């Protein structure tokens, strides 16, 4: 059992601890922290279960499962927060996830990989297609904000309608990217699959689909439960820490929701598989923008919460900046520790900006 | 005779029909639609006539003719609209042409070409030089907007002066790009010329210059006439359809003015000549920004219409976004159907945004 | 002795002339112009002295000296202006230096190099790492402006705190880029060093370190003295010329401060060493953003001048535009005279915009 697996198993202890903290009323801050720590291993086990099931059901259905459950943790936390009316936090967590994947996950991968290897390369066509899809998706989800910010007196309904229209286009595009990667251009993606399977074969025989489906179901339910605890305690806990809803949504929530991606990306980067590490970071950003954000808009519309794609203008700046830096650093297909540091520095500077951002005017 | 030629000959019937609609007062909507349909074949015949004349007069003068008449249709429609005082529509049609070429023309080419061919390539130096010129030109025409938007209390005269200065610089740069492509670096452009000539030789002997000059003159005059009908009917027709001046200018007018480019680009893309298809799309955007826009500013100044380069801020966002996506997708020199779809999705999303954009505050 | 050296020696005459102009009270305009002309040769001799010392003390310490004294002229002028309370000019000169290096220096190099050579290439890894570092640094110093511009009611203290935090992160990153270029990836930078040494060996034996240290010290002191004269006369002189503080800071001051880089970059470009020419232009922009700007923020905090990184929003646009064009033109690793012209056209257009920019609302 690897160190990573041991850590994730031990962290499972926070599931009962967080429940105890909630029912024995140990305070919102304790509940918030323990629930966050409990979500980390659950997200990791969801990922493992999805991969195991994917091996059995074959590449087409497996790819679909992976794509759908890849950001399940973020989606569940966001849906629970949306239902609780914390729309500011939900919106901020969308942009925060994109920024976090592009700067923090990619940066840590390049830094830790780059300390071991002088220069790392990643040149696959897949990376480029992912980057283009991500660019489109990110731009699309920011359009309503740009429209609202550059005009005076746009009604809430207009923004809501435009957001819904954008959401529907993005979900269609998401379906087409799945068609592309699983059907018409599946051969481009095969290298990665073989790679993963190789490792799987070392560790075991054909996985038991019933066992892993049970694990997946259990983890999903527990993530939903822990998200309830997290969201309930969020407002009191973060205001005790002196943090604004904007900072919580942009920085804190995505770190909890993306921890599994962080672990995966860094691990493979340190094995010099930068292609896979970047694929995780960029692919996750793409899925947030193409799938999670539109689903949340539609869910908000269904449950009657006014969830739209009108972000804080500074979030627009932050996402644009993150995309530009990530593109600039990854476009040459090579990386080293300094490039990783530059991404982390950009994340730090943005973190400062969100920390100093005045709350009163920050979320509109 | 190809299917395309048959369609364009049949569409010529809309020239007399639109005249009838105008004089027999069949209503503005009918005039608008029939005049638009009449312009399509005229623009195509102007293109054919220019190419035939270019074969006779040689590459230098021919290249100059091609460059000047390449966007003649858009220029004529815009001049007629400018003279009629529809400055909002003229301005919007400039940004709309750039967006349409980069997203709609390039997107359709990549999609329809990509359905036939798994992967298409385009790697010429010309593409890169064009892209750089276009980037500069697009940024330059947007500077007055950016200046106005980021400051308070800039006088109309200042914006007008800056627009004139920018227009003069751009026309000088346009002259230098012609010098570059026809004289100092003409060899880079030769491959494309040979390609075209090859096809010409199949169809006929040396073209009759007097015949084609007559065709070119007749078509130019008819386009001007139809533009008058189109512009006269425009305001009533579009408001009947519930469309704002902004949407009409950004989406409708450029589709009419650029139809010839659409047909050419898609046709060559389906013959796997992506280099040429992209050259048409990017080159046309470049000419709009380097030649058409400056000519309109100077023409407005001459005829006493306050035409400047102060666009709606959201147009600035839309053009910036289009340039970024087009650069991101074309920078790897390869395309597939998904990349075409992404460009079309971006165009769709922008179209929604312009449709939902509130009219009252949109044009300043 | 080369033409360049003769010119720079003759220009030294302006040191006594400017002093005479100051003490004999020939008027602020004369003092301003003669002090500016006196700074040019002093900056050049500082550069020469630094390089000579670098040869003796070895690559590590020499590289550090080069990095520190590379933008010493700009830094000294800015520190003197900061001390005199001309904060608007200091801030504008930071963005102006970045714009000037990316558009004017790079543009002149590509144009004059491109007139001699049909196509020039530059493809080193160093160029890419520099470009990425510059992108990050430029974005970071513009973040406080972006935050202030996109929110309402941000306090001066918040902007000041964020500026200080950003400055500290940037100086740390600057240290890491030195570690990268001198230690962990020094081999990437060796080609350039050998190149320079070759030329040195032609002209002389081992340089006299005491002589050159004396020259460096004398020039530094004289630059400081001339900067005092320049800054004292600046406000009266430029207002006589009808120029705003913004235009003076963005266009005039950087041309004086960067003249040495201009001369070097153009000279090597005309010898077909585009790699080195671009390295100077991009490297200088990077140092302004990573080192000069943070030092000024911290210096302002120490001397009690409210120096922060809250620029005029149009400066933000201008810098963003310059970075985009420079990236777009240099990303293919090739250049020709047209690309140089495009950069110069962009600089001209921005110059017009800053000239027309209304003063009253320009600096906040």
Please count the other Cβ atoms lying within 10 Å of the Cβ belonging to residue C299: 18
Supply the pLDDT for residue A122.
Answer: 83
Helices C313-330 and C274-287, interaxial angle, to 10°?
160
Residues in chain A with CB shorter than 8 Å from the CB of C180 are 336-338
Tell me the β-bridge partners of C120.
C335
Q: Report CB contact under 8 Å: A358, C153.
A: yes
Average pLDDT rounded to a whole number, residues A119-127: 78
Supply the pLDDT for residue C34.
Answer: 95
Supply the pLDDT for residue C165.
Answer: 94
Six-digit token string for B164:
């004139």
Q: Report CB contact under 8 Å: B342, A180.
A: no
Q: How confident is the model at residue C15 (pLDDT cuts 50, 70, 90)?
A: very high
- The whole-angstrom separation of Cα A108 and Cα B102 is 35
Give me the DSSP letters along B157-198. Answer: HHHHHHHHHHHHHHHHHHHHHHHIIIIITHHHHHHHHHHHHH
Yes or no: say if C46 and C224 are a contact pair by the CB < 8 Å rule. Answer: no
**pLDDT averaged over chain A?**
86
pLDDT of residue B197 exceeding 50, the answer is: no
Give Cβ neighbours of residue A150 (< 8 Å, ≥ 6 apart). Answer: B149, B312, B313, B314, B316, B317
Q: How confident is the model at residue B16 (pLDDT cuts 50, 70, 90)?
A: very high
Q: How confident is the model at residue B194 (pLDDT cuts 50, 70, 90)?
A: very low
Nearest chain A residue to B313 by CA: give it. Answer: A150
Yes or no: say if A12 and A41 are a contact pair by the CB < 8 Å rule. Answer: yes
Average pLDDT rounded to a whole number, residues B121-130: 76
- Cα separations in angstroms, A361 against A247, A317, B246, C155, C158: 13, 16, 31, 12, 14
Comparing CA positions, the residue from C127, C188, C90 lying closest to residue C334 is C127
Residues in chain B with CB shorter than 8 Å from the CB of C356 are 147, 158, 161-162, 165
**pLDDT averaged over chain C?**
86
Q: 3-class SS at C204?
A: coil
Comparing CA positions, the residue from B129, B74, B127 lying closest to residue B96 is B74
> For the segment A129-150, what is each residue's pLDDT rounded down to a tens digit?
778 888 888 888 889 999 888 8
Higher pLDDT, B22 or A261: B22
Residues in chain A with CB shorter than 8 Å from the CB of B337 are 180, 184
Strongest mean pLDDT among A186-200, A325-339, C27-41, C44-58: C27-41
Supply the pLDDT for residue C26.
Answer: 92
Supply the pLDDT for residue B275.
Answer: 84
Six-digit token string for B281:
């799309």
Question: Which of B134, B151, B184 to mutate: most C Cβ within 10 Å?
Answer: B151
What ipTM, to 2 d.p.?
A: 0.87
Higher pLDDT, B332 or B97: B97
Across A323-327, B226-230, C351-355, least confident range = A323-327
Q: How confident is the model at residue B195 (pLDDT cuts 50, 70, 90)?
A: very low
Six-digit token string for B175:
């002259």
Six-digit token string for C6:
């003769």
Question: Dmax over Cα atoms in chain C, in whole Å?
Answer: 62
Yes or no: say if C151 and A314 are a contact pair by the CB < 8 Å rule. Answer: yes
β-bridge pairing B334-335 and C120-121: unpaired
Distance of CA B303 to the CA centre of its chain: 23
Q: Report CB contact under 8 Å: C143, A337.
A: no
Question: Which of B99, B322, B328 to mutate: most A Cβ within 10 Å?
Answer: B328
Average pLDDT rounded to a whole number, residues B319-325: 89
Yes or no: say if B274 and B122 are a contact pair by the CB < 8 Å rule. Answer: yes
**pLDDT averaged over chain B?**
86
Alpha helices in chain C (DSSP H): 3-11, 14-23, 28-57, 59-69, 72-83, 87-99, 106-116, 125-149, 156-179, 190-203, 209-240, 245-247, 253-257, 259-270, 274-287, 293-303, 313-330, 337-356
Please count the other Cβ atoms lying within 10 Å of the Cβ belonging to residue B334: 18
Higher pLDDT, B264 or C108: C108
- The whole-angstrom separation of Cα A349 and Cα A345 is 6
Tell me the β-bridge partners of C335.
C120
Supply the pLDDT for residue C200.
Answer: 46
Q: How confident is the model at residue C84 (pLDDT cuts 50, 70, 90)?
A: very high
Q: 3-class SS at C209?
A: helix
Supply the pLDDT for residue A214.
Answer: 93
Average pLDDT rounded to a whole number, residues B158-162: 91
Please count the other Cβ atoms lying within 10 Å of the Cβ belonging to residue B353: 24
The sign one gets for the Cα dihedral C177, C182, C184, C190 is positive
Yes or no: say if B78 and B296 are a contact pair by the CB < 8 Å rule. Answer: yes
Considering only CB atoms, which residues of chain C are within 8 Å of chain A?
125, 128-129, 131-133, 135-136, 139-140, 143-144, 146-147, 150-155, 158, 161-162, 165-166, 169-170, 172-173, 176-177, 180, 184-185, 327, 331
Closest CB to B332 among A128, A136, A165 = A128
Tell me the β-bridge partners of B335.
B120
Q: Report CB contact under 8 Å: C342, B132.
A: yes
Q: How confident is the model at residue A284 (pLDDT cuts 50, 70, 90)?
A: confident
Yes or no: say if B166 and B144 are a contact pair by the CB < 8 Å rule. Answer: yes
- The whole-angstrom separation of Cα B245 and Cα B93 is 10
Supply the pLDDT for residue C9.
Answer: 85
Yes or no: say if B294 and B306 are a contact pair by the CB < 8 Å rule. Answer: no
User: Which of B251-274 are b and which e, b meaning 16 or more Cβ less than 10 Å from the residue's Cβ?
Assistant: bbbbebbbbbbbbbbbbbbbeebb
- The whole-angstrom separation of Cα C250 and Cα C255 is 9
Average pLDDT rounded to a whole number, residues A52-75: 80
Q: How far is B314 from chain A (nearest CA, A)?
A: 6
Supply the pLDDT for residue C247.
Answer: 92
> For the segment C312-321, what is each residue's pLDDT rounded down to a tens digit?
889 989 998 8
- Cα separations in angstroms, B270 against A86, A92, B40, B338: 50, 43, 21, 15
Q: How confident is the model at residue A200 (pLDDT cuts 50, 70, 90)?
A: very low
Supply the pLDDT for residue A352.
Answer: 93
Six-digit token string for B259:
């139809």
Q: How confident is the model at residue A265 (pLDDT cuts 50, 70, 90)?
A: confident
Six-digit token string for C21:
């102009």
Across A5-19, A319-333, B58-72, B100-114, least confident range = B58-72
Average pLDDT rounded to a whole number, residues A240-252: 90
Strongest mean pLDDT among B51-65, C111-125, C217-231: C217-231
Q: How confident is the model at residue B151 (pLDDT cuts 50, 70, 90)?
A: confident
Calculate the CA dihedral of residues B278, B279, B281, B282 and round it to 10 degrees: 100
Q: How far is A310 from chain B (nearest CA, A)?
A: 13
> For the segment C130-182, what is each residue's pLDDT rounded down to a tens digit?
788 888 888 888 899 998 888 877 888 889 999 999 999 999 999 998 888 88
Nearest chain B residue to A187 by CA: give it. Answer: B118
Supply the pLDDT for residue B362.
Answer: 39
Six-digit token string for C219:
């020039």
Higher pLDDT, B54 or B291: B291
- The whole-angstrom separation of Cα B34 and Cα B14 is 6
Q: Report CB contact under 8 Å: B135, C332.
A: no
How big is chain C, counted in residues?
364
Supply the pLDDT for residue B42.
Answer: 92
Q: How confident is the model at residue A124 (pLDDT cuts 50, 70, 90)?
A: low
Supply the pLDDT for residue B51.
Answer: 84
Share of chain B above pLDDT 70, in %: 93
pLDDT of residue C194 exceeding 50, the answer is: no
Across B231-235, C170-174, C202-206, least confident range = C202-206
Average pLDDT rounded to a whole number, residues A41-63: 83
Q: How confident is the model at residue B326 (pLDDT cuts 50, 70, 90)?
A: confident
Q: Report CB contact under 8 Å: B147, C353.
A: yes
Yes or no: say if A47 and A53 are a contact pair by the CB < 8 Å rule. Answer: no
Residues in chain B with CB shorter than 8 Å from the CB of A151 are 313-314, 357-358, 361-362
Alpha helices in A241-273 (DSSP H): 245-247, 253-257, 259-270
Yes or no: say if B235 and B87 are a contact pair by the CB < 8 Å rule. Answer: no
Average pLDDT rounded to a whole number, residues B279-297: 90
Closest CB to C133 among A313, A342, A358 = A342
Q: Report CB contact under 8 Å: C356, B147.
A: yes
Supply the pLDDT for residue B280.
Answer: 83
Closest CB to A338 among C151, C155, C176 = C176
Q: How confident is the model at residue B166 (pLDDT cuts 50, 70, 90)?
A: very high
Helices C106-116 and C259-270, interaxial angle, to 10°?
20
> For the segment B75-101, what is each residue's pLDDT rounded down to a tens digit?
999 999 999 999 989 999 999 999 999
User: Which of C24-41 are b and which e, b meaning 16 or more Cβ less than 10 Å from the residue's Cβ?
Assistant: eeeebebbbbbbbbbbbb
φ and ψ at residue A334, rounded to 5 degrees: -135, 155
Helices A274-287 and A259-270, interaxial angle, to 10°?
160
- The whole-angstrom separation of Cα B246 and Cα A258 is 41
Supply the pLDDT for residue A75.
Answer: 92
User: Which of B176-194 are b and which e, b meaning 16 or more Cβ less than 10 Å from the residue's Cβ?
Assistant: bbbebbbebbeebbeeeee
């Amino acid at each position: 059992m690897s160190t990573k697996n041991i850590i994730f198993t031990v962290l499972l202890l926070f599931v009962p601890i967080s429940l105890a903290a909630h029912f024995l009323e140990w305070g919102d801050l304790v509940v918030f922290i323990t629930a966050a720590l409990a979500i980390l291993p659950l997200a990791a086990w969801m990922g493992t279960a999805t991969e195991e099931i994917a091996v059995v059901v074959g590449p087409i259905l497996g790819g679909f499962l992976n794509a759908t459950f890849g950001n399940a943790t973020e989606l569940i936390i966001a849906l629970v927060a949306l239902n609780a009316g914390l729309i500011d936090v939900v919106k901020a967590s969308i942009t925060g996830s994109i920024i976090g994947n592009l700067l923090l996950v990619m940066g840590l991968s390049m830094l830790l990989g780059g300390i071991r290897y002088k220069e790392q390369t990643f040149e696959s066509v897949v990376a480029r297609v992912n980057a283009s899809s991500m660019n489109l998706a990110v731009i699309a989800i920011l359009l309503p904000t740009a429209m609202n910010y550059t005009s005076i007196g746009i009604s809430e309904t207009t923004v809501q309608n435009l957001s819904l229209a954008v959401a529907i286009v993005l979900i269609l595009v998401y379906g087409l990217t799945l068609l592309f990667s699983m059907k018409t251009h599946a051969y481009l993606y095969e290298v990665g699959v073989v790679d993963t399977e190789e490792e799987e074969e070392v560790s075991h025989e054909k996985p038991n689909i019933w066992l892993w489906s049970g694990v997946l179901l259990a983890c999903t339910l527990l993530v939903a439960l822990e998200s309830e605890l997290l969201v309930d305690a969020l407002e009191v806990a973060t205001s005790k820490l002196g943090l604004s809803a904007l900072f919580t949504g942009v920085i804190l929530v995505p770190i909890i929701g993306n921890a599994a991606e962080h672990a995966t990306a860094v691990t493979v980067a340190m094995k010099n598989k930068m292609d896979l590490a970047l694929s995780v970071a960029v692919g996750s950003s793409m899925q947030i923008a193409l799938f999670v954000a539109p689903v949340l808009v539609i869910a908000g519309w269904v449950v009657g919460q006014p969830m739209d794609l009108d972000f804080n203008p500074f979030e627009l700046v932050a996402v644009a900046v993150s995309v530009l830096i990530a593109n600039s650093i990854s476009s040459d297909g090579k990386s080293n520790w300094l490039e990783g540091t530059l991404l982390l520095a950009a994340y730090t500077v943005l973190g400062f900006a969100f920390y100093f951002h005045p709350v009163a005017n920050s979320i509109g």
